[in-house]
Amino acid sequence: MKLKVVVKYFGSVRDDSGTESETLFLEEESTISQAIAMLKERHNGIRNRKGQILFALNQSYSSDESKMKEGDELALFPVVSGG
């Protein structure tokens, strides 16, 4: 069975992906890192990013090895620095 996960993009990551959001269908037990690998295959702009991408699973920072489940929301956004 495939998991349906909504991906939302913010800031320059949105620009690099060319969209605000999309739906991914992943294998059961898929991790965040596997989802991001799939997104890098789909979007050259994300694959070619020089900076890191931060992510949150259901509005909370998570390990990239966290397993995803049906209906999860994965948000991707750029690293922000300031002084």
Sheet of 73-78, strand order:
21-27, 2-9, 73-78, 53-57, 60-61
Reported pTM: 0.90
Share of the chain above pLDDT 90, in %: 82
- Tell me the pLDDT band of 52, cut-offs 50, 70 and 90: confident
> In the predicted model, is pLDDT for residue 14 greater than 80?
yes
Check whether 53 has a pLDDT greater than 80: yes
Residue type present at position 62: S
Give me the chain's average pLDDT, please.
Answer: 93
Assigned token pair, 18: 């060319």
The pLDDT score that the predictor gives to residue 82 is 65
Q: What was the pLDDT predicted at 83?
A: 61
Q: Looking at the chain, how many residues does it have?
A: 83
CA 40 to the chain's CA centroid = 9
Q: Are strands 21-27 and 73-78 parallel, antiparallel or unpaired?
A: unpaired
Q: What is the rounded average pLDDT of the residues 63-80?
A: 94
